[in-house]
Structures are given as C-alpha cells and as structure tokens.
C-alpha cells in the first residue's frame, strides 16, 4: 500500500499571499505547501482523503486519473474546497463518486455547494455527482482498504483521523481522547497536525504535537498542516530522529 502527502500546508497554503517571511521566500521545495490532503493507493483501490482547496492541482501534479472514493475528515473549506472538481472524475469514470463523511460534514457540503444537491434550473458545465456514505466511529471499507475512524477534537468541532493498517492520518486536531489514543497503538507511520510554534485554539502547536507523538510512539511520525511560521529545515534539525517535518509529495510504501 502506498501513501502520499498531497498537501502539508495550513488553510492559507504556503507561501502566504503577500508575505515576505523567510519561509514564504524560501527556495526549498519542502517549504511550498498546498492545502492538506492524502492519497492512498492499494493494489486495486485509490482513495483521496479530503478534496482540498488545491485538489485540482494535486490531481494534475500526481497524474491521478482514477479515484474510487473520497474520505473526508471534516468540513472546513481547506478540506472540501476542491469538491467541484470531482466532476472531472465523473466525466472520466462515467459514474457517481462515492464519498465517506460524517453527517455534519455532509450538511456543510450541501450548504457550501448547494447547486450540486438542489435543482437550480441550470447546470451549465455540470455538477459533481456523488454517492453519499455517512460514517461516524465504526470501521468501514473502501475496495480493499479498511479504515478505522479516530474521533478527535478540532477546537469545539469533532473531526475524524483515520487508521489504515499500521498507518494513521491525524490532521486538524488539538485534542485526542484516551479512547482515540488507544486506537493509535502500534503504528509504523503517523501523520500528525503541528501548525506552528505558538499555541493555537484548534491545532496542536509543535510542542504539543511532539508530546502527542511521543505518547503514541509510532516508529516514525511526520508533521502536517504546517503554517508559514515554520521553515522546514530549521524545525527538522531540532526534532528527534523518530519525528520529522512532512512535505508535499512525501510517499510511504508499506506492506
């Protein structure tokens, strides 16, 4: 099974529009961060986690011509903003796209992309056509990929992380319950939210993310959802060897 970080940035992306800080002006490709998303490929199944605001470019960058489903973590715009571009896969595959998401995420998709779910009388270039699967905390399967939802808090909002075998993706969180920590035992690879150095009301900062990573004790942890306050090489040099800074295009192949 192959996992690829499609985007490791925060909601604004990095570089930030109009900013001239060291990270935004950096020539290190690891400091160029699209909005957060993950690609999962098995022998027979391809799944994207979140249609980020950079979804179209991410699909073009990685030459993705087939997706079997989209799994959503939550409804913030940086995680759903590319939803309309699922139309391309409707055209290519000639079928509705299965999406797996919590009830609240579905309700917000309906509000944000009302034209896709309500007859507005004129469709123009078409609308994204989806097959909705409401999930919560129970495990579910897409093709040959088994997902275990990891309930977490993103401020006051419930979000889902996901465990796939010994890999877990836990973006957009500042609180993991005891029950959810138990679901993260025995990981080989963990992708974990680490927004910036200063504390934040809805995200782990670096210090909190390091503490969570040390408690989970995955063989290797990579940080994601990173703001322009962090320069890749500077933070990476300060971290213990089992924790690294993630970046766009980082790929893991696991048996």
How many CA atoms are closer than 13 Å to the CA of 2, on its beta-carbon side?
Answer: 11
Of the candidates 144, 134, 140, 80, the one whose C-alpha atom is nearest the C-alpha of residue 111 is: 80
CA 247 to centroid of chain Cα atoms: 12
Rg (CA), the chain: 18
205 CB-near residues (< 8 Å, 6+ apart): 194, 195, 196, 197, 198, 199
Average pLDDT over the chain, rounded to whole? 97
Reduced to 3 states (helix: H, G, I; strand: E, B; else coil), residue 118 is coil
Other Cβ atoms less than 10 A from the Cβ of 118: the count is 10
Q: What is the pLDDT of residue 121?
A: 72
Helix (H) or strand (E) holding 46: strand 46-49
pLDDT at 124 over 80: no
Q: Which of 10-24, 116-130, 139-153, 231-245 has the lowest mean pLDDT?
A: 116-130
**Which residues share a beta bridge with 243?**
221
Q: What is the pLDDT of residue 123?
A: 67
Of the candidates 202, 168, 180, 181, the one whose C-alpha atom is nearest the C-alpha of residue 78 is: 202
- Domain ranges (residues) in the chain: 2-119+126-253
Q: Which of 114-123, 163-172, 195-204 has the lowest mean pLDDT?
A: 114-123
What are residue 58's phi and psi, to 5 degrees?
-60, -40
What CATH code would you report for 2-119+126-253? 3.60.15.10
Quick: pLDDT tens for 4-14.
Answer: 999 999 999 99
Extract the tokens encoding 38. Answer: 């993950």
Contact 176, 148 (CB under 8 A): no
Reduced to 3 states (helix: H, G, I; strand: E, B; else coil), residue 98 is strand
């Amino acid at each position: 099974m192959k996992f690829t970080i499609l985007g490791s940035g925060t909601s604004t992306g990095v570089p930030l529009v109009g900013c001239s800080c060291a990270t935004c002006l950096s020539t290190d490709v690891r400091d160029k961060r699209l909005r957060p998303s993950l690609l999962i490929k098995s022998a027979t199944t391809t799944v994207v986690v979140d249609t980020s605001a950079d979804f179209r470019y991410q699909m073009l960058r990685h030459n993705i011509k087939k997706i079997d489903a989209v799994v959503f973590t939550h409804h913030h715009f940086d995680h759903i903003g590319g939803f309309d571009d699922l139309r391309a896969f409707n055209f290519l595959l000639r079928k509705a796209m299965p999406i797996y998401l919590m009830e609240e995420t579905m309700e917000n998709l309906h509000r944000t992309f009302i034209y896709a779910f309500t007859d507005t009388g004129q469709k123009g270039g078409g609308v994204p056509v989806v097959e909705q699967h409401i999930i919560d905390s129970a495990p579910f399967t897409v093709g040959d990929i088994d997902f275990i939802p990891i309930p977490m808090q993103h401020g006051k909002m419930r979000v889902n992380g996901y465990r796939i075998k010994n890999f877990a993706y836990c973006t957009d969180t500042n609180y993991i319950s005891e029950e959810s920590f138990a679901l993260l035992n025995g990981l080989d690879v963990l992708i974990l939210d680490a927004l910036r150095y200063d504390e934040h009301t809805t995200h782990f900062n670096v210090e909190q993310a390091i503490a969570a990573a040390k408690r989970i004790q995955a063989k290797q942890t990579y940080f994601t959802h990173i703001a322009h306050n962090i320069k890749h090489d500077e933070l990476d040099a300060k971290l213990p060897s089992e924790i690294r800074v993630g970046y766009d295009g980082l790929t893991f192949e696991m048996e």
